[in-house]
Structure 1
Amino acid sequence: MKISSPRFSKYLTADALEYSYAIVNRCRERQPPMSPTEPQVNAVQEAAEALNANFKLELSDPYSKNMSGLDNVRDRLIMGTRTIAEGYTYHFDPATAAKAELILSTIDKYGSQIARLPYEAETTTLASLTNDLMGTPKMAEAIRDLGLDTWIIQLKTVNDQFRQTFSARVGSQTDAQRKTTNELRQKLHDALRTLFAHLTAHATLSNDASVTAIIGDINGLTDRFNQLTDRRLNKPSEN
């Protein structure tokens, strides 16, 4: 039985940890102690614990907390702006509806899941979008007539604040700190690969029903987390 491949490098760290802990739990629930794959399961747990400890340290720094707050604000601003524009597309005045369609099409040009993009991608996208929304007299008129000018100005302001905070956070991290996070993620990914290889071999050689069930559980988890990642990155699911 084949184990599906997780797009692990694309997972957010929190998702990577949740995925890994879920696999450890499924393995322990399905198999008794001292099972043939217990050393590999333990290795995954140990790698996850090391990454989790590092992740908690990153979350505790003031830059991360400020970034999270700013990210929530800009998400609400872009979603609110789009919702208002969409509402005006039903306006009884054709000219007002046309202005709303112009704004809506400009926003949707950047995709329907801007708020789900990774930090850096969302920052770049919103910078381009706000430039488009403020870039021509026709667009400026549409924004002003629909009362969205303060929304767009605030969106640009918050996005700029986020970019500055993100840059400051990156600048405050040493090369060693950045390397540690990447190395810990890679070690966890390697541990998962080793576990998957042992499970596949054990299922083939022993025809153990519990191992087959674990592989089914893992494939279900992998599909769920891959789909979650695909939605966040705004791209269709891959087989």
Structure 2
Amino acid sequence: MDPIAKTAYYCCGVRMLDAHEKSPVCGDHYAELFMDADARAVFQRFESFRGPNAANAARHRIIDDILRERIAARPNQPILLLGAGFDTRAFRLGGGDWFEIDTPAIVAHKEHILPARSAPNKLTRMGMDFGQEKLEPKLETLAAQGNPVVVVMEGVSMYLTPEQLRATLATLVGSLPGHTLVCDLMSAAFARRYGWRMRQRIRELGGNFAPLLDEPADFVIAQGYRERGRHSISGRAVEHGSVPLPRWLFNSLLKSLRDGYQLYVFESLPE
């Protein structure tokens, strides 16, 4: 498994620990199924990162809530998880027509542990070599349906160079007209100030963040999107109490923490 794909074990480990809390943020009881000895060895490098781990769980919950709302309005809502990792929403959320794309190694491992055919909702998984294959052919089935798609890119953008992100968004805009994009975006300043320990651990795995932008949301908008909403990821963790910070401090001296890493909802514009 490549170094960036290994970070999927980190996110899964966060949800595993969260599921055992008295008041879980996500309540993903499937996450533990994927955490074998190798996965736990990866997660052990990150287990002491209280703040980033709380933010990771909060990010996942924000997306859960957005998707629940969409599914409530449209029970068969097509949802594409691009860079799905060990996401289990097709098993946890009631409804949706789910499509997952990730590396062949991750897809094969998921199929072994939690087969798509066992999901209570419709679920299609596709393996993709992101360095060699083009995304567009993977989207043909979704595009043929003709229904507005919700695309989720969770924990993905910070590993893409601006050129890679631009190319990915261009493919999505061209292939899935009118789609909604749900993604987390981290500013360069946030990564420098608050993300250096995380970057160090990722480098130890053999990976790294790509060069980040000062205003990543503006970059996405310039690729043919309209912003529909944003949510502070750290803010949700503070609200839940998993990050013990006074609200006045968070909303004054720590605005860079509040605003530098957010979950965005964008709507693609007609070409």
| TM-score, structure 2 as length reference | 0.26
Q: Which has the higher helix share?
A: 1
| TM-score, structure 1 as length reference | 0.29
Q: Give the number of the structure whose alpha-carbon radius of gyration is greater.
A: 1
